[in-house]
Structure 1
Amino acid sequence: MAEETLTLTVARPAGPTWLATLAEAVDERLAAFIAAESAALVALDPRLDLLASTARDAVLGGGKRLRPVFAYWGWRACGGQEPTERVLPALSALELLHAFALVHDDVMDRSATRRGRPTAHRALAAAHERSGLTGASERFGDSTAVLVGDLCLVWADRLMAQALVPATALAAARQAYDLMRVEAIAGQFLDVLGEHSPEWTVDRALRVARLKTAGYTVVRPLHFGGGLAGRLDSSAAAAFSRYGVAVGEAFQLRDDLLGVFGEPARTGKPAGDDLAQGKPTVLIQLARTAASGPGRTEIDALLGRCRGEAPPDPDQLRRLTELIESTGAPERVREMITERVTTGVEALSTAPITDEARSALTSLAYAAAWRSA
């Protein structure tokens, strides 16, 4: 059953129109920066065009641009004044960091598609085959994708340095940026560890969500934006943390649902992708906990069979999806999303931020938690 059908009864506001406008500004800034950086790279050797073009596609091949948007409202909430062009390079740099993480994540997960297109390592392997290069195309794809991710990480630092803000403000933003990178790596390690652990709990899955998703997607971008404004006091930082953890967890819980029930045409990933990768998500752990003895045994057996298959058997995926749904775990996850959005919005009620930012962050909470892709 499609996830859209499962959530029709949930009332939520539509996404704000300014979200698309800000995302377009980020895309334009990224495109101009990457064009200049790619030209400089190819000037070193024409064969570096494959590296540069793959990095460009990884960054500009779609995405919600939520991290720059949260950072923008962290900046505005703490007194940041237009024009946005002064901080746009720093906001856009977060998407280069995101591309670094996604490219490496896809290599680790052996993912075939991202946003409806071949992942970087798959595209590079295909380029190896077309070019008649020697050696294993898969090894070439993996190795070069790691370098693509590394290049995006370096580009993020270079673009951030172009922000027209005082050095003290940029240094304050860098503190949040550095914490974001450390926490994302920590969360990714725990995610990988969970895939290889025979027992994983809901609490551990939520801890991964806080580190890998909440901190990296919402909390630290808000702190980053506040740092750019040069006015992030302890009260605002604490409110951002409460809001960010709640909304970030809701974002990841929604991702868990989409990974099993989402429409591939919207998510850009194959149906049941999380099941095939053996992701120890909150949804899966809740289903295993709620299942009866025979039911849990069958869920675990099917998870074991689906894991690592490319593509997994559709009949096994269908049966596994039915079992997960029968436990009531999807409904519990939707309840958890609603609870966290409510908690996040309440955290803003007394925060020392502008009313404009409070309204925007409230809209963002709903848009992030109830997205369809």
Structure 2
Amino acid sequence: MTSSSDLEQIETRTLSLVRDFSFLHADDPVANSCKAVADAVAQQAVTSSEGGKRLRALLTLDAFRAFAPQDVAERDMDAVLDLACAIEVFQTGALVHDDIIDDSDLRRGKPSAHRALATDTHSDAIGHGLGIMLGDMLATASVDIANKAACRLGSGSSVVSAFLNMHREVEIGQVLDLAVELNTLDDPEELASASLNVFRWKTASYTTIAPLEFGMLAAGLAPADARRLALAIGLPLGLAFQLADDLLDVIGSSRNTGKPVGGDIREGKRTVLLADAIEAAGDVERRELIDMWEAESRDEAHVRRAIALFESTGAIARSKERIAGLWLESKAAIETLELSQDRKDMLTEACARFVPIVREQG
């Protein structure tokens, strides 16, 4: 099956699963005066779930194909497809919450969920509250979908345990992500280390490690082996992915990312890119960067100046070097697998989708 065919199936199935979970059932006892808001939240669940690259779901399917015997792949593919969709539903819920925390106006080129719900209800406060509940609803939906998929797999209990562990790790990651914002800017080495640690918990855990682990478990690998191999391949890949995402925030475009360029700078977010710039800057530029980030807010002129400093200090080049090194680490881990070369190549290609910047540099 081609990735385009996979993508079409993932999109269709994800929206169907979200729709079935989110909309009221005929026998749900809900007051007529409240149904319009409940329907608006359900419709926003579907709208928020539309689009995206579906990298996590695609990686789940490809990991399953790489490790599963042919008869298992044919028998269990439908269940693994639902498991892959469950990760996408989880991600959507996490993004809804992220946008509330970051006070973001846009997501994938459309109004963020809480902003859209505020418009629907003519109330910022109610829109904010409904956004929180929508994120919770999607997180619950993801567990329900994963559990039902796991019941159709021989490794069902291990898959459910891994899925719940993914939830836990991302929740810890979100706590750490907020904690990093309290880090001093006078110690860029510690800031870079803490930020990379956040990437492991908040991003790599569900973006690369979990999809690989789910695919391997569904294919029949023992839980300990699946976890070990998923970490070896997925941890450096997930770190590279988040570094590349942060880099796109300053060298990408709104058309490609669906978000304004320099969003992290406007928010004053503490990133590895910022840490590298502070570390490499001269005294004057270092003070300028720190003062900029410690200010109450940053405007478009600050964004342009920060990007220029990221370039002149070599922070952008350093980020590209980090990404390339992590990608080589992930590829090396794939080469150690006891798989045919064809299957290794397929898995390498699947993982390469997460770091297109490496190919562009090559």
TM (norm. structure 2) is: 0.89
> Residue 249 in 1 paired to residue 239 in 2?
yes
> Residue 91 in 1 paired to residue 77 in 2?
no
1:118-137 per-position Cα deviation (integer Å, ceiling 9, x unaligned): 101111111122xxxxxxx2
Residue aligning to 1:28? 12
> Residue 102 in 1 paired to residue 95 in 2?
yes
Q: 1:341 aligns with which of 315, 319, 327?
A: 327
Q: 1:222 aligns with which of 212, 215, 219?
A: 212
Distance 1:43 1:108, change over 3 A: farther
Contact 1:113-1:268 at 8 Å conserved across structures: yes
Q: CA deviation at 1:175?
A: 1.9
Q: CA deviation at 1:43?
A: 6.0
Which segment drifts farther, 83-92 or 98-107? 83-92
Query: Separation in 1 of the partners of 2:328 and 2:200?
Result: 17
> Residue 72 in 1 paired to residue 65 in 2?
no
Query: Separation in 2 of the partners of 1:231 and 1:71?
Result: 14
Which segment drifts farther, 246-255 or 359-368? 359-368
Residue aligning to 1:147? 133
> Residue 177 in 1 paired to residue 138 in 2?
no
Q: CA deviation at 1:167?
A: 5.7
List alignment gaps of at least 5 residues for structure 1: 1-16, 130-136
1:189-224 per-position Cα deviation (integer Å, ceiling 9, x unaligned): 111111233345111111111111112211122112
State the AA in 1 paired with 2:313: T
Distance 1:159 1:233, change over 3 A: closer
List alignment gaps of at least 5 residues for structure 2: none
Query: Separation in 2 of the partners of 1:177 and 1:281?
Result: 28
State the AA in 2 paired with 1:273: G
Distance 1:151 1:359, change over 3 A: same
State the AA in 1 paired with 2:99: D
Q: CA deviation at 1:291?
A: 0.8
Structure with more contact order per residue of length (Cα contacts < 8 Å, sep ≥ 6) = 1
Q: CA deviation at 1:355?
A: 3.8
RMSD, aligned CA: 2.1
Contact 1:246-1:340 at 8 Å conserved across structures: yes
Q: CA deviation at 1:365?
A: 2.8
Query: Separation in 2 of the partners of 1:338 and 1:164?
Result: 35
| Secondary structure of 2:195's aligned partner | helix
Q: CA deviation at 1:353?
A: 3.6
Query: Separation in 1 of the partners of 2:18 and 2:214?
Result: 22
Residue aligning to 1:295? 285
Contact 1:19-1:69 at 8 Å conserved across structures: yes
Which segment drifts farther, 205-214 or 345-354? 345-354
Residue aligning to 1:196? 182
State the AA in 1 paired with 2:96: V
Contact 1:74-1:226 at 8 Å conserved across structures: yes
Query: Separation in 1 of the partners of 2:345 and 2:151?
Result: 25
Query: Separation in 2 of the partners of 1:190 and 1:208?
Result: 6
Identity of aligned residues (%): 32
Contact 1:214-1:247 at 8 Å conserved across structures: yes
Query: Separation in 2 of the partners of 1:195 and 1:37?
Result: 35
Alignment length (residue pairs): 344
Q: CA deviation at 1:55?
A: 0.9
> Residue 239 in 1 paired to residue 229 in 2?
yes
Query: Separation in 2 of the partners of 1:362 and 1:67?
Result: 14
Contact 1:236-1:353 at 8 Å conserved across structures: no
Distance 1:240 1:167, change over 3 A: closer
Distance 1:232 1:355, change over 3 A: farther
